[in-house]
């Protein structure tokens, strides 16, 4: 197949996943995905790291049925908008998947996907159960091909070699850490920037008031000097 022929085939592949394959699970399910994606994208953008993170993107592996992970990450690729991820077209498969489980097909997330993602060579797979507030991690085995081994949490954190970050459970959701520092979520970052802006404006207002007071003081002293000059001139007469 030529490059042009392959491009035509890729363009014909549907970008949307039918609801029967991925039924909607409500706001808590959606919020967890959006928060995770936003946090990771902002962190890697600021770090200048080439990594593509998105959610609910149709993924095509050769000989596999279309699937749509809640969150996926691919290392060392450009972060630009895509309508689907076609492995043969992109030149590589996924490096990490996070599935958010909430009142959906438990067997799919905890059994079917564990077997499937390992077979496809996806390095890490995490499952976050929103209702139970439970997190589980899997990593490809170094000794057994196409099989996962559990990621054992240390001090309540699950290490992701793909992301170079730790995952933890906090306030009923996933929190990402770099070392001891928690990554700021979009709302927290906005609040922090808003506070910094308020402080900067307050300092500017204080500086303006100080400048006005200084100008008023200089004008007062100038008037006094003018008056003293006039007084002295009057004395010479």
Report pLDDT digits (tens) over 167-218: 999 999 999 999 999 998 866 655 555 656 666 777 777 788 888 888 888 8
Give the CATH number, domain containing residue 96. Answer: 3.90.1570.10
Backbone angles phi, psi at 67, to 5 degrees: -135, 165
Residues 77 and 130 in one domain: yes
- Higher pLDDT pick, 12 / 79: 79
Quote the pLDDT of residue 82. 95
Q: Average pLDDT for residues 54-59, to the nearest whole number?
A: 94
Boundary-marking domain end, from 163, 183, 203:
183
Cβ–Cβ under 8 Å, residues 74 and 92: yes
In Å, how far from its chain's centre is CA 163? 11
Residues 216 and 228 in one domain: yes
Quote the pLDDT of residue 3. 66
Residues 119 and 40 in one domain: yes
Boundary-marking domain end, from 183, 204, 220:
183
Report pLDDT digits (tens) over 18-55: 555 555 567 888 888 989 999 999 999 999 999 999 99
- Give the residue among 162, 191, 169 at the shortest CA–CA distance from 53: 162
In this structure, what DSSP letter does residue 112 have? I
Residues 28 and 51 in one domain: yes
56, with CB counted inside 10 A (0-12, 13-18, 19+), is middle
3-state secondary structure of 198: helix
3-state secondary structure of 129: strand
Q: Average pLDDT for residues 154-162, to the nearest whole number?
A: 97
Residues 6+ positions from 100 with CB-CB distance below 8 Å:
25, 29, 32, 33, 36, 70, 71, 128, 130
Residues 134 and 226 in one domain: no
> How many domains would you assign to the chain?
2
Residues 19 and 132 in one domain: yes
Residues 105 and 128 in one domain: yes
Residues 130 and 222 in one domain: no
Residues 119 and 166 in one domain: yes
Quote the pLDDT of residue 115. 97
Q: How far apart are CA 148 and CA 137, in angstroms?
A: 9
What is the residue range of 224's domain?
A: 184-237
- Higher pLDDT pick, 97 / 8: 97
Q: How far apart are CA 17 and CA 65, in angstroms?
A: 11
Residues 204 and 162 in one domain: no
Q: 224 pLDDT band (50/70/90 cuts)?
A: confident
pTM: 0.73
Residues 54 and 115 in one domain: yes
Residues 71 and 137 in one domain: yes
Report pLDDT digits (tens) over 93-132: 999 999 999 877 889 999 999 999 999 999 999 999 999 9
């Amino acid at each position: 197949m030529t490059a042009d022929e392959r491009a035509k085939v890729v363009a014909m592949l549907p970008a949307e996943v039918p609801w029967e394959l991925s039924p909607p699970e409500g706001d808590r399910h959606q919020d967890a995905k959006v928060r995770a994606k936003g946090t990771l994208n902002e962190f890697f953008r600021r770090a200048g790291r080439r990594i593509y993170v998105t959610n609910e993107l149709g993924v095509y592996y050769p000989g596999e049925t279309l699937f749509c992970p809640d969150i996926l990450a691919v290392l060392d690729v450009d972060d630009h908008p895509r309508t689907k991820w076609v492995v043969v077209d992109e030149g590589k498969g996924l490096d990490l998947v996070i599935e958010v489980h909430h009142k959906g097909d438990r067997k799919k997330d905890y059994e079917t996907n564990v077997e499937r993602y390992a077979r496809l060579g996806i390095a890490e797979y995490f499952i976050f159960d929103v209702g139970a507030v439970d997190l589980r991690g899997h990593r490809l085995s170094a000794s057994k091909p196409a099989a996962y081994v559990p990621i054992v949490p240390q001090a309540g954190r699950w290490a992701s070699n793909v992301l170079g970050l730790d995952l933890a459970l906090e306030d009923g959701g996933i929190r990402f850490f770099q070392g001891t520092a928690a990554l700021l979520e979009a709302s927290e970052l906005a609040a922090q920037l808003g506070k910094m802006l308020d402080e900067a404006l307050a300092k500017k207002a204080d500086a303006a008031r100080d400048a006005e007071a200084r100008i008023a003081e200089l004008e007062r002293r100038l008037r006094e000097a003018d008056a003293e000059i006039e007084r002295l001139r009057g004395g010479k007469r």
